[in-house]
């Protein structure tokens, strides 16, 4: 039984922290590709990203009834960004924020995929019984 707790801990850590570095790398590369200046992100952005992937993985582990919670959480993040995007009135600012929103969406989709795949891998390893 203790190996299952180790699998759970390592799997959720992988989902949260390795996923953070993958998404951060992608975010940096996309912003560089689009020539977007680096702006200061909110202080808890990295923490939220780690917790987000852990939530996605945990929802996969918890089963079908919890998939909805992951979808709702993902939808709220996207809706929040769209609300900010819809309040912009300057065409110059709209283009900049539009590019940043595209990067935001891409990184969130990768984060969601990372959390889901990690959850599937954890579930598979969890069901494995050593001989």
CA distance 76 to 4: 32
CA angle 121, 60, 65 (to 5 degrees): 155
17-70, pLDDT tens digit by residue?
Answer: 999 999 999 998 998 898 888 777 777 888 888 888 998 888 888 887 777 888
Burial class (CB in 10 A: 0-12, 13-18, 19+), 63: exposed
- Is it the case that residue 130 has pLDDT exceeding 70? no
* Whole-number pLDDT of residue 18: 92
* Whole-number pLDDT of residue 25: 93
CA distance 94 to 73: 26
The sign of the dihedral angle between the CA atoms of 107, 62, 48, 8 is negative
């Amino acid at each position: 039984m203790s190996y299952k707790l180790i699998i759970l801990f390592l799997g959720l850590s992988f989902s949260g922290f390795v996923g953070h570095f993958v998404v951060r790398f992608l975010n940096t590369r996309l912003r560089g590709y689009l020539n977007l200046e680096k702006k200061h992100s909110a202080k808890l952005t990295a923490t939220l990203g780690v917790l987000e992937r852990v939530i996605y993985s945990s929802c996969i582990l918890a089963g079908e009834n919890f998939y909805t919670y992951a979808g709702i959480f993902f939808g709220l993040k996207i809706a929040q960004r769209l609300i900010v995007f819809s309040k912009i009135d300057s065409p110059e600012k709209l283009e900049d924020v539009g590019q940043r929103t595209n990067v935001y969406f891409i990184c969130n989709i990768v984060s969601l995929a990372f959390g889901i795949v990690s959850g599937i891998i954890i579930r598979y390893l969890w069901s494995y019984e050593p001989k």
